[in-house]
Structure formats: C-alpha cells, structure tokens
Amino acid sequence: MRLDLVDVFGSAPMRGNPLGVVHGGDNLSDAAMLRLTQWLGFSETTFLLPPTDPGADYRVRIFYPAGELPFAGHPTLGSCHAWLAAGGAPAGDGVVVQQCGVGLVEVKQDGDRLAFAAPGFTRTGPLDDAERAEAIRIAGVDPEAVVEAVHVANGPQWQLLRLRSSEDVLAASPVAKAAPGTDIGLAGPVGEGGGADWELRAFFANQHGTLVEDPVTGSFNAGVALHLFGQGLADGSYVAAQGRKVGADGAVHCAVGDDGKVWIGGLCATIAGQADVPAFGG
C-alpha cells in the first residue's frame, strides 16, 4: 500500500483540509479501513480501488472516524488528484468519472483547480421546528440571525442554517458534544471587500460524540451551492471562504454551467507522496 497526504481546497498548500489517500488497499477489510482512518485522525481517508461500474475510471471508498460515507467533497477532489498523480488517465475526454456510494461523479480540470459536479440532494426542505431549534442550539448561533433553516443532504445529512452575515457565521459558538451523525453547517454573505462572497462553517460529531469543526467541506459547499443557485440567491459563480476559525484558509469556487450542473472546485496539493499531476484535457 501507499499513503498520499493531500491538501484540498486551500488558498495555498497546507491551508485547506487534509486527506489521506490509500493506494493498493484492495484486500483491506471494512474494519481495517475504518481503523486506519481513525488512527490517521483526518476528517476523512479514502481508498482507491478498481471500478466495478464500466462507466467509471476508478472507485473510491470514503471513511470518516465514525464509519463510511457514500459521498464527500474534499475526498472526491483529493482522491482524483492522487489517482492522476499515480498515472491514472480518464477514458473520457477531459473528465474523470469517480464511482462512489452515490454512484458516478464527474471531476474536471478547471484551470489549476479540480472541480466536481455536485450530486443531487438526498433530502431537501425546511427543518421542522424541533430540528431548527436543535440545530441552532448545537451550532451556538443567535436565533435572530437565522434567515433560513433547510436540509441540504447529499450523502452526509447536512442541515443548513443560512445567517444574516459572515459576522454572524464567525460569531457562532458551537457546543462541545452532539450525537454521532450530526452534520450542521452555517452560511452567510460576506460584505464588500471581504475576499469572498460567502462565509461557511461546518460541524460534524465524531464517533465519540465530540463536535468537530471541519476546515473545508466539499459536500456541504455542494449542498449550499445547489440551494443558493436553485433559489436564486446566487447567480453564475461565487467563492466561499471556510476554515478561518480553525487556522485554515479555504477557498471554494462554485459555479453553475449552462446545462445547470453545479461545479465545486478548489486547489489540491500533495504534501507527501506522488507530486506530479498530469493535465487531462479541457
């Protein structure tokens, strides 16, 4: 086996979300994959495997410390980056096709960034009153700052609290403990000159019930982008900042194409492992 350490969505190397990518782990059991993930301690670790779907270029299994995820965003970009660095070449022109728990996900090169096509929602709609109150309590936000509370699940069961401003997002003070499986995120618009268009924070509970703030979260950004574009709250493209409260400086580029596909992009950098990533078309 080989382990690559990849930084994803950073504005510069080691300013984004770290990812462990395992090559050659075909014979590992589910328990061994989970144990390695827990030992590494990153928010996710992925395992690159041969595809079983003829339409895919590779298959990935995505683990976080409490189990396996059908989809996650920064593991998608980081895994594609590592697969390309190891000599992978897509069958299609300019697009890599990843097989994971939600099916097939497209990844394309976007200048010096990689971008994945946001998968569809597995759950949408407003949070009910009890869910809204609990999300507000866990995230530690001012109830008066909440403009909207909705489900934006796409594998992880994200609940979005859209707040009045980036200042409200950064002022949130989440609780220390929550039920494992908790996925709550915040988004608020950034004022002029703030270096981004939206400020995001995302929290998940690990296997011990500790609430963890994720540095930069592709799946949450994908859910937020689908919601913002779908509701007319964003148009064309925007940049989301995330991670400022945990020492990161994430920059997530979100855009909607003429065909309606929403793309979530960012920089990837190999910190240890194969470093040269070949270009793969337009």
Q: Are residues 78 and 133 in the same domain?
A: no
**pLDDT at site 275:** 47
Any domain includes 164: yes
Buried b (16+ CB within 10 A) or exposed e, 121-146: bbeeeebeeeebebbbebbebeeebb
Q: Are residues 230 and 139 in the same domain?
A: yes
Q: Are residues 50 and 156 in the same domain?
A: no
Nearest of 120, 98, 94, 116 to residue 107 by alpha carbon: 116
**pLDDT at site 107:** 98
**pLDDT at site 274:** 59
Extended beta strands in the chain, E state: 2-8, 17-23, 45-49, 58-64, 67-69, 95-100, 103-110, 113-117, 146-151, 159-163, 183-189, 198-205, 211-214, 237-242, 250-256, 262-266, 268-272
Tens digits of per-residue pLDDT, 120-172? 999 999 999 999 999 999 999 999 999 999 999 998 999 999 999 999 999 99
Any domain includes 133: yes
**pLDDT at site 114:** 97
Any domain includes 255: no
Any domain includes 203: yes
**pLDDT at site 128:** 98
Global confidence as pTM? 0.93
Residue 148 known to be catalytic = no
Catalytic-role residue among 44, 134, 192, 199 = 44
Q: Are residues 172 and 214 in the same domain?
A: yes
Q: Are residues 183 and 203 in the same domain?
A: yes
Count: domains in the chain: 2
**pLDDT at site 93:** 83
Task: Dig out the tokens for 152 from the structure.
Answer: 């934006």
Decide the pairing of beta strands 95-100 and 58-64: parallel
Report the CATH number at residue 183.
3.10.310.10
**pLDDT at site 13:** 86
What span, in angstroms and rounded, lies between the C-alpha atoms of 168 and 171?
5
Q: How many CB atoms lie within 10 A of CB 206?
A: 17
Q: Phi and psi dihedrals of 88, rounded to 5? A: -65, 140
Q: Are residues 138 and 200 in the same domain?
A: yes
Task: Dig out the tokens for 208 from the structure.
Answer: 């011990």
Q: Are residues 58 and 162 in the same domain?
A: no
Any domain includes 34: yes
Full residue range of the structural domain in which residue 229 is found: 129-247
Q: Are residues 114 and 136 in the same domain?
A: no
Any domain includes 279: no
Q: Are residues 113 and 136 in the same domain?
A: no
Asked if 74 contacts 16 with a C-beta cutoff of 8 angstroms, the reply is yes
Any domain includes 167: yes
What span, in angstroms and rounded, lies between the C-alpha atoms of 220 and 235?
18
Q: Which amino acid appears at position 134 of this protein? A: E
Q: Which segments in the chain show pLDDT lower than 50?
A: 275-278, 280-282
Q: Are residues 227 and 135 in the same domain?
A: yes
Any domain includes 75: yes
Q: Are residues 109 and 151 in the same domain?
A: no
Q: Are residues 146 and 106 in the same domain?
A: no
What span, in angstroms and rounded, lies between the C-alpha atoms of 131 and 118?
25
